[in-house]
Amino acid sequence: MEEKMKKHKNYYLSNRDLLIVAVLSGIGGVMSTYIGYLGNLLNRICGVPFGAGQFVSGLHIFWFILVAGLIRRPGAVTVAGLLKGVIELLTGSTHGVVIVLISLIQGLIVDVVLLIARRRNLGSYMLAGGLSAASNVFVFQLLYFSGVPFTYLLFIGLLAFVSGVLLAGSFGHSVLDIVLQARPFRLADASREETAATAATPGSKKRVLPRLRIAATVLLVVLFFIGAVYYFTAVFEPPWVGPSCRVEGAVENPLSFQLSRFDRYETTITAELKGQVSYIPPQEYTGIPLSIILQEASPLDEAKKLKVMATDGYMVEFELQEVLNDDLMVLIREEDMLRLIAGNYEGGYWVKLVNRMIVE
Protein backbone atom coordinates (compact mmCIF):
# COMPACT_ATOMS: atom_id res chain seq x y z
CA MET A 1 0.00 0.00 0.00
CA GLU A 2 2.80 2.37 0.92
CA GLU A 3 4.57 1.62 -2.37
CA LYS A 4 1.36 2.28 -4.30
CA MET A 5 0.83 5.62 -2.54
CA LYS A 6 4.43 6.59 -3.20
CA LYS A 7 4.08 5.79 -6.90
CA HIS A 8 0.78 7.64 -7.10
CA LYS A 9 2.35 10.67 -5.43
CA ASN A 10 4.87 11.00 -8.27
CA TYR A 11 2.09 12.22 -10.56
CA TYR A 12 1.25 15.26 -8.42
CA LEU A 13 3.01 18.61 -8.45
CA SER A 14 4.19 19.81 -5.05
CA ASN A 15 4.19 23.45 -3.99
CA ARG A 16 7.88 23.57 -4.89
CA ASP A 17 7.12 22.17 -8.34
CA LEU A 18 4.35 24.69 -8.94
CA LEU A 19 6.65 27.53 -7.89
CA ILE A 20 9.33 26.41 -10.36
CA VAL A 21 6.74 26.08 -13.14
CA ALA A 22 5.35 29.55 -12.40
CA VAL A 23 8.75 31.26 -12.28
CA LEU A 24 10.23 29.63 -15.39
CA SER A 25 7.00 29.93 -17.41
CA GLY A 26 6.73 33.58 -16.40
CA ILE A 27 10.30 34.38 -17.46
CA GLY A 28 9.88 32.39 -20.69
CA GLY A 29 6.59 34.10 -21.53
CA VAL A 30 7.97 37.59 -20.98
CA MET A 31 11.16 36.77 -22.90
CA SER A 32 9.17 35.51 -25.91
CA THR A 33 8.87 39.00 -27.46
CA TYR A 34 12.62 39.48 -27.06
CA ILE A 35 13.27 36.13 -28.78
CA GLY A 36 10.98 37.26 -31.61
CA TYR A 37 13.09 40.42 -31.82
CA LEU A 38 16.26 38.32 -32.16
CA GLY A 39 14.58 36.27 -34.88
CA ASN A 40 13.70 39.36 -36.89
CA LEU A 41 17.26 40.64 -36.55
CA LEU A 42 18.44 37.36 -38.09
CA ASN A 43 15.93 37.74 -40.91
CA ARG A 44 17.25 41.23 -41.59
CA ILE A 45 20.88 40.07 -41.58
CA CYS A 46 20.01 37.24 -43.99
CA GLY A 47 17.94 39.58 -46.19
CA VAL A 48 14.70 37.60 -45.94
CA PRO A 49 11.34 38.62 -44.40
CA PHE A 50 10.99 35.36 -42.44
CA GLY A 51 12.45 31.88 -42.01
CA ALA A 52 15.98 32.58 -40.75
CA GLY A 53 14.53 33.61 -37.39
CA GLN A 54 13.57 29.99 -36.77
CA PHE A 55 17.17 29.42 -35.77
CA VAL A 56 16.46 31.07 -32.40
CA SER A 57 13.14 29.27 -31.88
CA GLY A 58 14.89 26.81 -29.56
CA LEU A 59 15.12 29.60 -26.97
CA HIS A 60 11.34 29.35 -26.56
CA ILE A 61 11.79 25.68 -25.59
CA PHE A 62 14.83 26.27 -23.37
CA TRP A 63 12.53 27.05 -20.41
CA PHE A 64 10.67 23.77 -20.88
CA ILE A 65 13.93 21.82 -20.69
CA LEU A 66 14.72 23.54 -17.39
CA VAL A 67 11.28 22.62 -16.07
CA ALA A 68 11.76 19.01 -17.21
CA GLY A 69 15.14 18.76 -15.51
CA LEU A 70 14.06 20.31 -12.22
CA ILE A 71 10.65 18.62 -11.99
CA ARG A 72 10.68 14.97 -12.91
CA ARG A 73 6.94 14.45 -13.05
CA PRO A 74 4.77 13.66 -16.10
CA GLY A 75 2.71 16.64 -17.20
CA ALA A 76 4.85 19.33 -15.55
CA VAL A 77 6.14 20.68 -18.87
CA THR A 78 2.65 20.64 -20.39
CA VAL A 79 1.43 22.80 -17.50
CA ALA A 80 4.42 25.09 -18.06
CA GLY A 81 3.55 25.31 -21.77
CA LEU A 82 -0.01 26.37 -21.02
CA LEU A 83 1.07 29.00 -18.51
CA LYS A 84 3.84 30.34 -20.76
CA GLY A 85 1.37 30.70 -23.63
CA VAL A 86 -1.08 32.64 -21.49
CA ILE A 87 1.68 35.00 -20.35
CA GLU A 88 2.83 35.52 -23.94
CA LEU A 89 -0.74 36.40 -24.88
CA LEU A 90 -1.04 38.91 -22.03
CA THR A 91 2.29 40.56 -22.85
CA GLY A 92 1.28 41.35 -26.42
CA SER A 93 2.08 38.37 -28.65
CA THR A 94 1.38 39.18 -32.30
CA HIS A 95 -0.17 35.71 -32.75
CA GLY A 96 -3.07 36.39 -30.39
CA VAL A 97 -4.77 33.51 -28.59
CA VAL A 98 -3.17 31.00 -31.01
CA ILE A 99 0.09 31.35 -29.08
CA VAL A 100 -1.52 29.57 -26.13
CA LEU A 101 -2.19 26.52 -28.33
CA ILE A 102 1.33 26.65 -29.82
CA SER A 103 3.00 26.78 -26.41
CA LEU A 104 0.76 24.06 -24.99
CA ILE A 105 1.64 21.69 -27.85
CA GLN A 106 5.35 22.44 -27.45
CA GLY A 107 5.24 21.61 -23.74
CA LEU A 108 3.23 18.45 -24.42
CA ILE A 109 5.79 17.26 -26.99
CA VAL A 110 8.64 17.65 -24.48
CA ASP A 111 6.66 15.67 -21.91
CA VAL A 112 5.82 12.87 -24.37
CA VAL A 113 9.36 12.52 -25.74
CA LEU A 114 10.89 12.33 -22.25
CA LEU A 115 8.21 9.87 -21.13
CA ILE A 116 8.96 7.58 -24.08
CA ALA A 117 12.74 7.96 -23.71
CA ARG A 118 12.48 7.26 -19.94
CA ARG A 119 15.94 8.71 -19.41
CA ARG A 120 16.55 12.42 -18.93
CA ASN A 121 19.96 13.01 -20.40
CA LEU A 122 21.60 15.07 -23.12
CA GLY A 123 20.27 12.91 -25.94
CA SER A 124 16.66 12.91 -24.78
CA TYR A 125 16.72 16.64 -24.06
CA MET A 126 18.12 17.37 -27.53
CA LEU A 127 15.47 15.23 -29.23
CA ALA A 128 12.67 16.74 -27.15
CA GLY A 129 13.95 20.27 -27.78
CA GLY A 130 14.28 19.72 -31.53
CA LEU A 131 10.82 18.20 -32.06
CA SER A 132 9.16 20.76 -29.81
CA ALA A 133 10.79 23.72 -31.57
CA ALA A 134 9.94 22.36 -35.03
CA SER A 135 6.29 21.85 -34.09
CA ASN A 136 5.53 25.58 -34.28
CA VAL A 137 6.30 25.57 -38.01
CA PHE A 138 3.77 22.85 -38.76
CA VAL A 139 1.07 24.16 -36.42
CA PHE A 140 1.31 27.58 -38.06
CA GLN A 141 1.15 25.82 -41.44
CA LEU A 142 -2.13 24.17 -40.49
CA LEU A 143 -3.60 27.39 -39.14
CA TYR A 144 -2.36 30.02 -41.59
CA PHE A 145 0.10 29.09 -44.31
CA SER A 146 -1.78 26.54 -46.40
CA GLY A 147 -0.08 27.65 -49.64
CA VAL A 148 3.54 27.18 -48.58
CA PRO A 149 5.60 24.80 -50.76
CA PHE A 150 6.25 21.61 -48.81
CA THR A 151 10.02 21.72 -49.48
CA TYR A 152 10.24 25.21 -48.00
CA LEU A 153 8.18 24.10 -45.01
CA LEU A 154 10.61 21.23 -44.41
CA PHE A 155 13.55 23.61 -44.68
CA ILE A 156 12.36 26.06 -42.03
CA GLY A 157 11.17 23.11 -39.94
CA LEU A 158 14.72 21.75 -40.09
CA LEU A 159 16.09 25.14 -39.00
CA ALA A 160 13.73 25.10 -36.02
CA PHE A 161 14.68 21.49 -35.19
CA VAL A 162 18.41 22.30 -35.20
CA SER A 163 17.71 25.35 -33.03
CA GLY A 164 15.77 23.20 -30.56
CA VAL A 165 18.58 20.64 -30.44
CA LEU A 166 21.25 23.27 -29.76
CA LEU A 167 19.57 26.14 -27.90
CA ALA A 168 16.99 24.11 -25.97
CA GLY A 169 18.41 20.60 -25.57
CA SER A 170 22.18 21.11 -25.40
CA PHE A 171 22.21 24.60 -23.85
CA GLY A 172 19.41 23.68 -21.46
CA HIS A 173 21.28 20.54 -20.37
CA SER A 174 24.42 22.59 -19.67
CA VAL A 175 22.48 25.10 -17.58
CA LEU A 176 20.80 22.26 -15.69
CA ASP A 177 24.19 20.70 -14.93
CA ILE A 178 25.37 23.96 -13.38
CA VAL A 179 22.15 24.57 -11.47
CA LEU A 180 21.94 21.04 -10.09
CA GLN A 181 25.58 21.02 -9.02
CA ALA A 182 24.95 24.26 -7.16
CA ARG A 183 21.91 22.46 -5.65
CA PRO A 184 19.64 25.44 -4.90
CA PHE A 185 16.71 23.02 -5.00
CA ARG A 186 16.31 20.01 -2.75
CA LEU A 187 14.58 17.11 -4.43
CA ALA A 188 11.29 16.37 -2.71
CA ASP A 189 11.55 12.63 -3.26
CA ALA A 190 14.84 10.86 -2.58
CA SER A 191 13.83 8.07 -4.96
CA ARG A 192 13.76 10.38 -7.99
CA GLU A 193 16.27 9.71 -10.71
CA GLU A 194 19.13 12.23 -10.69
CA THR A 195 20.76 13.60 -13.80
CA ALA A 196 24.12 12.39 -15.02
CA ALA A 197 25.65 15.59 -13.71
CA THR A 198 24.65 14.92 -10.10
CA ALA A 199 24.33 11.16 -9.89
CA ALA A 200 26.94 9.36 -7.89
CA THR A 201 26.99 5.68 -6.97
CA PRO A 202 28.46 4.58 -3.62
CA GLY A 203 32.22 4.90 -3.76
CA SER A 204 32.26 6.81 -7.05
CA LYS A 205 33.38 10.37 -7.57
CA LYS A 206 30.95 13.09 -8.46
CA ARG A 207 31.54 14.34 -11.99
CA VAL A 208 32.91 17.86 -12.10
CA LEU A 209 31.98 20.01 -15.10
CA PRO A 210 34.89 21.27 -17.23
CA ARG A 211 35.66 24.91 -16.50
CA LEU A 212 35.54 25.82 -20.18
CA ARG A 213 32.00 24.44 -20.48
CA ILE A 214 30.89 26.33 -17.39
CA ALA A 215 32.46 29.55 -18.68
CA ALA A 216 30.85 29.19 -22.13
CA THR A 217 27.43 28.49 -20.63
CA VAL A 218 27.62 31.40 -18.21
CA LEU A 219 28.80 33.71 -21.00
CA LEU A 220 25.83 32.76 -23.20
CA VAL A 221 23.41 33.33 -20.32
CA VAL A 222 24.95 36.73 -19.54
CA LEU A 223 24.86 37.83 -23.20
CA PHE A 224 21.25 36.70 -23.51
CA PHE A 225 20.14 38.72 -20.49
CA ILE A 226 22.20 41.79 -21.44
CA GLY A 227 20.43 41.77 -24.80
CA ALA A 228 17.10 41.36 -23.03
CA VAL A 229 17.79 44.38 -20.80
CA TYR A 230 18.56 46.48 -23.89
CA TYR A 231 15.43 45.27 -25.66
CA PHE A 232 13.04 45.93 -22.78
CA THR A 233 14.54 49.35 -21.99
CA ALA A 234 15.12 50.70 -25.50
CA VAL A 235 12.84 48.84 -27.93
CA PHE A 236 9.86 47.15 -26.28
CA GLU A 237 6.59 49.02 -25.81
CA PRO A 238 4.05 47.28 -23.54
CA PRO A 239 0.62 46.76 -25.15
CA TRP A 240 -1.23 48.32 -22.21
CA VAL A 241 0.35 51.74 -22.93
CA GLY A 242 -1.57 51.96 -26.20
CA PRO A 243 -0.08 51.89 -29.71
CA SER A 244 2.04 54.89 -30.64
CA CYS A 245 4.66 55.68 -33.24
CA ARG A 246 7.66 57.96 -33.75
CA VAL A 247 8.89 59.63 -36.94
CA GLU A 248 12.56 60.57 -36.73
CA GLY A 249 15.72 60.92 -38.73
CA ALA A 250 16.08 63.37 -41.61
CA VAL A 251 12.95 65.41 -40.76
CA GLU A 252 12.39 68.98 -39.59
CA ASN A 253 9.68 68.04 -37.07
CA PRO A 254 10.26 64.68 -35.35
CA LEU A 255 6.92 63.26 -34.22
CA SER A 256 5.74 61.01 -31.44
CA PHE A 257 2.05 60.37 -31.96
CA GLN A 258 -1.00 58.19 -31.53
CA LEU A 259 -3.13 57.60 -34.59
CA SER A 260 -6.04 59.64 -33.19
CA ARG A 261 -3.94 62.77 -33.78
CA PHE A 262 -4.69 62.44 -37.52
CA ASP A 263 -8.37 61.44 -37.29
CA ARG A 264 -9.48 64.20 -39.66
CA TYR A 265 -7.38 62.62 -42.46
CA GLU A 266 -8.85 59.13 -42.01
CA THR A 267 -9.50 57.34 -45.28
CA THR A 268 -10.62 53.90 -46.46
CA ILE A 269 -8.80 51.89 -49.11
CA THR A 270 -9.27 48.45 -50.65
CA ALA A 271 -6.18 46.27 -50.70
CA GLU A 272 -5.21 42.66 -51.33
CA LEU A 273 -2.42 40.94 -49.39
CA LYS A 274 -0.31 38.69 -51.60
CA GLY A 275 2.41 37.17 -49.44
CA GLN A 276 4.86 34.37 -50.03
CA VAL A 277 3.15 32.27 -47.36
CA SER A 278 -0.26 33.90 -46.89
CA TYR A 279 -3.05 35.50 -48.86
CA ILE A 280 -5.92 37.79 -47.86
CA PRO A 281 -8.48 38.64 -50.57
CA PRO A 282 -9.32 42.30 -51.30
CA GLN A 283 -10.97 44.03 -48.36
CA GLU A 284 -11.36 47.51 -46.91
CA TYR A 285 -8.91 49.08 -44.47
CA THR A 286 -9.52 52.38 -42.69
CA GLY A 287 -6.56 54.41 -41.45
CA ILE A 288 -4.28 57.39 -41.98
CA PRO A 289 -2.30 57.77 -45.23
CA LEU A 290 1.41 57.49 -44.55
CA SER A 291 2.01 60.48 -46.80
CA ILE A 292 -0.03 62.69 -44.43
CA ILE A 293 2.01 61.60 -41.42
CA LEU A 294 5.29 62.18 -43.25
CA GLN A 295 4.22 65.60 -44.49
CA GLU A 296 3.58 66.58 -40.87
CA ALA A 297 7.16 65.57 -40.05
CA SER A 298 8.54 67.51 -43.08
CA PRO A 299 11.33 65.33 -44.54
CA LEU A 300 14.52 67.18 -45.47
CA ASP A 301 15.25 67.75 -49.16
CA GLU A 302 18.11 65.26 -49.18
CA ALA A 303 16.02 62.45 -47.64
CA LYS A 304 15.65 59.44 -49.94
CA LYS A 305 14.45 56.44 -47.94
CA LEU A 306 11.91 55.47 -45.28
CA LYS A 307 12.41 52.61 -42.85
CA VAL A 308 9.32 51.28 -41.06
CA MET A 309 10.15 49.33 -37.89
CA ALA A 310 8.15 47.15 -35.50
CA THR A 311 8.54 46.56 -31.78
CA ASP A 312 9.83 43.03 -32.44
CA GLY A 313 12.68 44.33 -34.63
CA TYR A 314 11.08 43.62 -38.03
CA MET A 315 11.90 46.32 -40.59
CA VAL A 316 11.12 47.17 -44.22
CA GLU A 317 12.50 49.93 -46.43
CA PHE A 318 10.80 52.10 -49.05
CA GLU A 319 11.78 54.83 -51.46
CA LEU A 320 10.55 57.99 -49.73
CA GLN A 321 9.18 59.64 -52.86
CA GLU A 322 7.16 56.56 -53.74
CA VAL A 323 5.59 56.56 -50.26
CA LEU A 324 4.68 60.26 -50.52
CA ASN A 325 2.85 59.54 -53.80
CA ASP A 326 1.24 56.24 -52.73
CA ASP A 327 -2.52 56.41 -52.05
CA LEU A 328 -2.70 52.71 -51.04
CA MET A 329 -0.37 52.96 -48.04
CA VAL A 330 -2.12 53.62 -44.72
CA LEU A 331 -1.36 53.14 -41.05
CA ILE A 332 -4.27 51.50 -39.22
CA ARG A 333 -5.03 50.50 -35.65
CA GLU A 334 -5.64 46.77 -35.45
CA GLU A 335 -6.58 45.53 -31.98
CA ASP A 336 -3.84 46.98 -29.73
CA MET A 337 -1.21 47.67 -32.37
CA LEU A 338 -0.46 49.81 -35.40
CA ARG A 339 -0.21 48.05 -38.73
CA LEU A 340 1.05 49.29 -42.08
CA ILE A 341 -1.17 48.41 -45.04
CA ALA A 342 0.88 48.62 -48.24
CA GLY A 343 -1.56 47.86 -51.05
CA ASN A 344 1.02 48.25 -53.83
CA TYR A 345 3.54 45.92 -52.18
CA GLU A 346 3.70 42.20 -51.39
CA GLY A 347 2.74 40.89 -47.97
CA GLY A 348 6.21 41.13 -46.41
CA TYR A 349 5.81 44.93 -46.41
CA TRP A 350 2.57 44.88 -44.41
CA VAL A 351 4.26 45.50 -41.08
CA LYS A 352 2.55 44.72 -37.77
CA LEU A 353 3.42 46.37 -34.44
CA VAL A 354 4.72 49.53 -36.11
CA ASN A 355 6.38 51.87 -33.61
CA ARG A 356 9.09 53.76 -35.54
CA MET A 357 9.55 55.36 -38.94
CA ILE A 358 13.03 56.56 -39.80
CA VAL A 359 13.61 58.93 -42.69
CA GLU A 360 17.07 58.75 -44.21
Domains of the chain as residue ranges with CATH:
9-235 (no CATH), 244-359 (3.90.420.10)
pLDDT tens per residue, range 83-95: 999 998 888 776 7
Residue 287: CB atoms within 10 A of its CB come to: 22
Question: What residues pair up with 248 in beta bridges, in sequence order?
Answer: 358
Amino acid type, 125: Y
- Model confidence, pTM: 0.71
Contacts of residues 250-255 at CB distance under 8 Å and 24 or more positions apart, as own/partner, are 250/299, 250/300, 250/302, 250/303, 250/359, 250/360, 251/294, 251/297, 251/298, 251/299, 251/300, 251/303, 251/359, 252/297, 252/298, 252/299, 252/300, 253/296, 253/297, 253/298, 254/297, 255/293, 255/296, 255/297
* 253 has a pLDDT exceeding 70: yes
Among candidate residues 133, 136, 131, 138, the one with its CA nearest the CA of residue 153: 138
**Helix, strand, coil proportions of the chain in percent (round to 5)?**
55, 15, 30
pLDDT tens per residue, range 308-331: 988 777 889 999 999 999 999 999
Helix (H, G, I), strand (E, B) or coil at 268: strand
Question: With bands split at pLDDT 50, 70 and 90, how would you rate the model's confidence at 108?
Answer: very high
Alpha carbon distance 262, 295 (integer Å): 12
**pLDDT (0 to 100) of residue 194:** 45
